[in-house]
């Protein structure tokens, strides 16, 4: 499913509070992935996502992630169109890498290459 939105992420300074809020507000099933990150299981035909504990001096945020076949090629196109690289291609695990860019309006958008993230 290339170039589709395959993941989203909401970050904030209090992960337990975020987890409790979204679980109660929408009935989401949220699994612990790491101490600073939780995976949100997809609901119906929706796309799953994640909740992240932000680090010191990091602002709360919402980001979508788009599936691409080649991070480097996608980033070359994006920067050629006026986007800016925020985070270079970075490995998450053996089968998944990500990068972040900023679009011309200042939005931070993620790219994923590899197997999509799923809740256990």
Residues 32-60: what's their mean pLDDT? Answer: 92
Specify the pLDDT at position 70: 95
Would you say residue 47 lies in a domain?
yes
> Quick check: is 119 in a domain?
no
CATH number, domain of 9, equals: 3.10.180.10
Q: By C-alpha distance, which of 60, 65, 48, 62 is closest to 99?
A: 65
The count of other CB atoms within 10 Å of the CB of residue 31 is 13
Let me know if residue 120 belongs to a domain: no
13 close to 60: Cβ distance less than 8 angstroms: yes
pLDDT digits (tens, 9 = 90+) for 32-41: 878 899 999 9
Q: What string of DSSP letters covers 22-55? A: HHHHH---EEEEETTEEEEPP-TTS--EEEEEPP
What would you report as the CA-atom Rg of the chain, rounded to the nearest whole angstrom?
Answer: 15
pTM score, two decimals?
0.87
Q: Tally the domains of the chain.
A: 1
Residue 56, domain extent: 5-114
Residue 120 has pLDDT above 80, yes or no: no
Residue 102, pLDDT score: 96
Residue 94 lies in a domain: yes
pLDDT of residue 58 exceeding 50, the answer is yes
């Amino acid at each position: 499913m290339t170039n589709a939105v395959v993941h989203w992420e909401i970050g904030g300074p209090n992960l337990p509070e975020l987890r409790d809020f979204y679980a109660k507000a929408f009935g989401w099933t949220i699994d612990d992935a790491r101490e600073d990150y939780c995976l949100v299981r997809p609901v119906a035909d929706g796309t799953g996502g994640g909740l992240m504990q932000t680090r010191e001096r990091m602002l709360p945020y919402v980001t979508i992630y788009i599936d691409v076949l080649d991070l480097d090629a996608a980033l070359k196109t994006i920067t050629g169109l006026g986007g800016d690289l925020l985070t270079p291609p970075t490995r998450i695990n053996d089968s998944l890498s990500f990068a972040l860019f900023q679009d011309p309006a200042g939005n931070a958008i993620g790219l994923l290459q590899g197997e999509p993230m799923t809740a256990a």
